[in-house]
Amino acid sequence: MGNYYQTNREWGAFHQCNSGRNPVSSYRWKQRMRAQKWMGNPNSFRHPKGTITVNQTQAKQLTTPRVDDLDLKTLPYSARPAGTKPLGNGREMPLTAFDYSRQAVIDLAKRKAEAIGEEFSMGRRIIPRSPRKRGSPSTSREA
């Protein structure tokens, strides 16, 4: 019989339209983000001293409208080792975390909100957590 939608673009426009966004501006926003991909080296890039950074997961939760991976690829980011993940064969896979400037993420979300016609607002507050301190059971209890 064939597919109801002739192209992926029509399918995407239909679903964007039904999600409450303006399909034309949302489509143009995505095309612009693809064209502006940052081509730097994250292993050698460092943010200026004193810059507040957030990781990729925190950056996605920081604002409304949410920024996605396509949006974040346009911002400069630094890479850092983030531990290892055990594999089933006895080896460990090194993990990498990406850090983005908090202010750059907020500015990007404001531009996205303006382009797609949504209202900008801050999401949940991101507070860097310090490592949990564990004491011995005898010192943590008070008699």
Confidence (pLDDT) at 9: 53
Q: How many angstroms separate the CA atoms of 64 and 30, rounded?
A: 17
pTM of the model: 0.66
In residues, how long is the chain?
143
Summarised one tens digit per residue, pLDDT across range 82-133 is 888 888 888 898 888 899 999 999 999 999 999 888 899 988 776 665 555 5
Q: Which two tokens stand for residue 67?
A: 């920024």
- Which three-class secondary structure state does DSSP give residue 94? strand
**Among positive and negative, which fits the CA dihedral 115, 121, 123, 126?**
positive
Confidence (pLDDT) at 110: 94
Confidence (pLDDT) at 130: 52
Q: Please, what is the average pLDDT of the chain?
A: 78
Q: Which two tokens stand for residue 58?
A: 């925190």
Helices (H), 37-87: 56-61, 69-72
Summarised one tens digit per residue, pLDDT across range 1-33 is 444 445 555 545 545 444 556 666 788 888 888
What pairing do the DSSP bridges indicate for beta strands 77-86 and 92-101? Answer: antiparallel
Q: How many angstroms separate the CA atoms of 47 and 59, rounded?
A: 16
Residue 140 pLDDT > 80: no
**pLDDT category, 143, cuts 50, 70, 90?**
very low
